[in-house]
Amino acid sequence: MPSLAFNLLGESAASVAGGRVAIGRWTLPPLPQPTTRAVPTVSTVSTGTILSIENLRVSYPTPGGLVHPVRGVSFEIREGEALGVVGESGSGKSLTALAASRLIEPPGVVDADRLEFNGIQILTAPEKTIRGLLGTSLAMVFQDPMTSFNPTRRIGSQLAEAAQEHQGMSRQDAMERAVRRLQAVRVPAAARRAEQYPHEFSGGMRQRAMIAMGLMNSPKLIIADEPTTALDVTVQRQVLRLLARVRTDTNAAILLISHDIAVVSQSCERVLVMYAGRIVEDLPTADLYTGARHPYTRALLEVVPDLDTDREEPLGVIPGRPPAPGEVPPGCAFAARCPLATAQCRESDPELEIHGGRHRIACWNPVGGDSGVRLPEPGSAAAHTEAAPVATVGGTR
């Protein structure tokens, strides 16, 4: 307890001293402030759009200066749409979702040309408006429900808290709704299970309870951050089916974050592929296996084993590793790992541009483009760089 009080006192003193925070023998620079823009607080996007993001950036101060783990992300998601986000660990998937939910804590800073949820600019609207909006219309399903739930409180009371806080319901009414929500996500003996603690639930049941918590109000958008991680394949399928049923019943949009591109292709209508804090490809999942043109997207697809994969051969890998947020090179961040990279790729970062319909791609040399280039077969000599470290895709975040 004394050490905790000392830490809190130090943080308070640092904030009073102009926002400079000492870490070891380094002193971090003052926290960056969002750029002030004349952004309207009412919607200027098309009807039916739930979340609209334009040029989203997330910044953190470090001893070496600012780093930007999310660098200019832009996309929209409409009512009832299921949108998947895939990429390796460190690609910025979870940070993008947290930024959209206003859950980035200091010293992180969120800035965007547009960050609009349900018609409200949430970077400029009053805090009271934001609290009521996000508390009732947005739900988060976190990756690990065991650490997301309070282990000292019963499941039912934790679910009821959302309705009590944001809708002013009485404790009894909120508890009755909590039981109904547990029943809706097919938790057996819901009234009895509502009186149990999180450790008394299995992993799959805890994830169902987390989804039930998100349904305590009336969400228009459900953000599911790797909801099937650490679950066996049978439970994974049950959770994904549950999310699909919730979407059908409520017309809520789903933003599904996953490292598993196969899961996203089976569960979503559209997929965003992220790499080093940027979207490198955005396309319908119906075109994913035949129409993906970014070398990184193709590489993600080619390392996923299927029933025809030779079990005597090593699993496919993508050579190299993604750059750290503070070490993103000039040009395309994937160039060092890309067998199609040219001098232009290493010097200039391509913009995310429309390539027909709803397909967007950021690449100077897209696979199957006008030049007719094709990605080398996985494991071939041309697909590997000399002495490059190798990173597998499975199990990344």
Mean pLDDT of 135-144: 86
Query: What percentage of residues in the chain have a pLDDT greater than 90?
Result: 53
Count of CB atoms situated within 10 Å of the CB of 237:
14
Q: What is the pLDDT of residue 179?
A: 95
- Determine the Cα–Cα distance for residues 292 and 164; give it in Å rounded to an integer: 46
Q: What is the pLDDT of residue 29?
A: 47
Residue type present at position 346: R
Q: 305 falls in which pLDDT band (50, 70, 90)?
A: confident
The secondary structure of 184-196 as a DSSP string is HTT-TTHHHHTTS
Q: In this predicted model, what pLDDT tens digit does every residue of 142-195 receive, in sequence order? A: 877 778 899 999 999 999 998 898 888 999 999 999 999 999 888 999 999 999
Q: 276 falls in which pLDDT band (50, 70, 90)?
A: very high
Q: Is the pTM of this model over 0.85?
A: no
Q: Is the alpha carbon torsion for 338, 259, 54, 290 positive or negative?
A: positive
- Determine the Cα–Cα distance for residues 85 and 260; give it in Å rounded to an integer: 10
Q: What is the pLDDT of residue 218?
A: 83
Q: Which of 51-60, 270-279, 308-317 has the lowest mean pLDDT?
A: 308-317
Mean pLDDT of 45-49: 75
Structural element, H or E, at residue 111: strand 109-111
SS3 state of residue 338: coil
